[in-house]
Amino acid sequence: MKTYFALFSFLIGLFAASLLLQNISAQNTEHVEKLIVDDGWQAVQENCTECHSTLLITQNSGSKAVWESRIRWMQETQGLQQLEDSLEESILNYLTQNYGQKESSRRASLSITLMPDNPYEPID
């Protein structure tokens, strides 16, 4: 009887430890895999993170047509499944709304007077 109790307690302990570990890894994932929370973010989480991290998505930007072309490219060459029309529409709207076309991702050049001397400039 005593051995059964010991075995039972051991199993309960193991179960609790596994829950704790699961919880820790879920928290880490949440932290790393961050999407802006807005209409449609779950659809992106569910359909777009199987093959690559969310970061590959969030570091990109573009108009609806650009996002659509990326989806087509993945469908034609990377094995992304066909998405139901309404699902694709909500994913595209989410991406366009939250990771839309940027005017420019580079800052403007510094004025020439603020630049260091060019070491390669010919000496006259």
Between 77 and 109, CB nearer to ligand HEC: 77
State the binding string over 75-104 for ligand HEC (x if CB under 6 A, else -): ---xxx----------x-------------
Q: What are phi and psi of 68, to 5 degrees?
A: -65, -40
Candidate list 11, 18, 52, 100; residue touching ligand HEC; CB under 6 A = 52
State the binding string over 9-48 for ligand HEC (x if CB under 6 A, else -): --------------------------------------xx
Count other C-beta atoms under 10 Å from residue 24's C-beta. Answer: 10
Between 79 and 119, CB nearer to ligand HEC: 79
Cα separation, 44 vs 13, in Å, equals 36
8 Å CB contact between 80 and 48: no
Between 17 and 51, CB nearer to ligand HEC: 51
Q: What are phi and psi of 79, to 5 degrees?
A: 80, 15
Candidate list 33, 66, 68, 70; residue touching ligand HEC; CB under 6 A = 70
Between 61 and 120, CB nearer to ligand HEC: 61
User: Mind giving me the DSSP string for 90-106?
Assistant: HHHHHHHHHS---S-SS
Q: Which has the closest alpha carbon to 29: 55, 51, 47, 48? A: 55
Residues near ligand HEC (CB under 6 A) are: 47-48, 50-52, 56-57, 60, 70-71, 74, 78-80, 91
